[in-house]
Structures are given as C-alpha cells and as structure tokens.
Amino acid sequence: MTTILSWNVNGLRQRHGQNEFLPILQHNPDIVCIQETKTLKEKIPPELKKIYGYQMFCSTVATGNFVETLLFTRKTPVSVQYGFGSRLSDVDGRIIIADFDTFVLMNIYFPLGVGPVDTLEHKLAFFDEFLSCAAHLSESGRAVIICGDFSVAHTDNDVESIKKHAAKQVGTTPAERAKIDSLISKGFTDAFR
C-alpha cells in the first residue's frame, strides 16, 4: 500500500516558515505532491531539499519563474518527466510525471485561467494536453494517479455559494467543467468524492 498526500500549499516558504510543512511528514507518507509553491528554485529552503528518507523532484524553469510543483518520495521513480512534451505546458514548472513502475503519478498545478497572460483559452488548451497525456498513459495499460489543483469547481457542490453568473466565472464555466467530465468519462475516478 502506497500512501500519497497532495497539497496546494499556496506558498511553500510561508508554510515552512510557519512550521506547517514538515509536520505532514509525521504521517510517514510514501509520496508528497505539492502544488502552488510560489517559490523560485533557488529559494526552496535547503532543509526541504534534503529531508531524510525522501528524494525531492522539481522541474527546471526559466530564471525568474516559480517552480510550481514539487514531488517528495521515499520510492525511487523509474523515470521523471516535467511536462506533456510541448512548449505550451512545459515551461511553467506546473507538471511532474513520475513513473513508479506499478503506476504513473501526475502531479499538476493547472493554470488559473485569469488574464492577462494566463487566459481561459490557455487553461483549456492546457487541459486538452493533459487529457491527451492521461488518456495515452491509461490506454497503454498503465495505472494512472493524478494529484493536483485543477483550478475548477467541477459542480455547484464544490463552491461555498454559487454566484449568479457562475457560467461566466473562470473556474466554474461549462467549458472547464466539461474537461473534468471528459476525464471521468475516460474511466478516471474522483477519489475525493
């Protein structure tokens, strides 16, 4: 049995500085997937890079860009890939795909979809690349586990109070919700539900 934790930390250095990060390791998880680090690679606290018993993986990003996902693991992956293999999705440090032989783990921090640069169109294109990659892995017979922050409220039950114009609000648009529906229709299960 492999224990996997996934957490959108909304700022790794802040969580670590407030002594909120390392205590999760008291649960002895095999794998910890982190999203939204808001941290430059060179600013990752050194003590997090060398946690006893864990290897840390983070993608290489352009100077000045945040590493948005981190992977801490007790199990050594067969391989690690940082992205889906395209310029659209592979430059932002949002994707870590680790092959653990018996399963493939995707740790992803999806774009929010709020402009001016990170538009809804960009978010939907990112989702299309993700869906293609997940389907390819699954159809090849691989067990696929997806962790991360999808930046979508899949149904009205996923928001505290639905706004009058939710269909136009990024994060609750029909187009974004349809991407989650598409993932589920490919045989994936929402473990949270």
157 vs 46, 150, 180, CA distance in Å? 40, 16, 14
**Catalytic annotation on 149?**
yes
Residue 101 near residue 78, CB atoms below 8 Å: yes
Cα separation of 94 and 118, whole Å? 13
Give the SS3 label for residue 140: coil
Place of tokens 């949002």: 94
Q: Which of 30, 90, 101, 149 is catalytic?
A: 149
**What are the tokens at 11?**
């700022």
Cα separation of 41 and 68, whole Å? 9
Using DSSP bridges, classify how beta strands 95-99 and 66-73 pair: parallel, antiparallel or unpaired: unpaired
Q: Which residues are catalytic?
A: 149
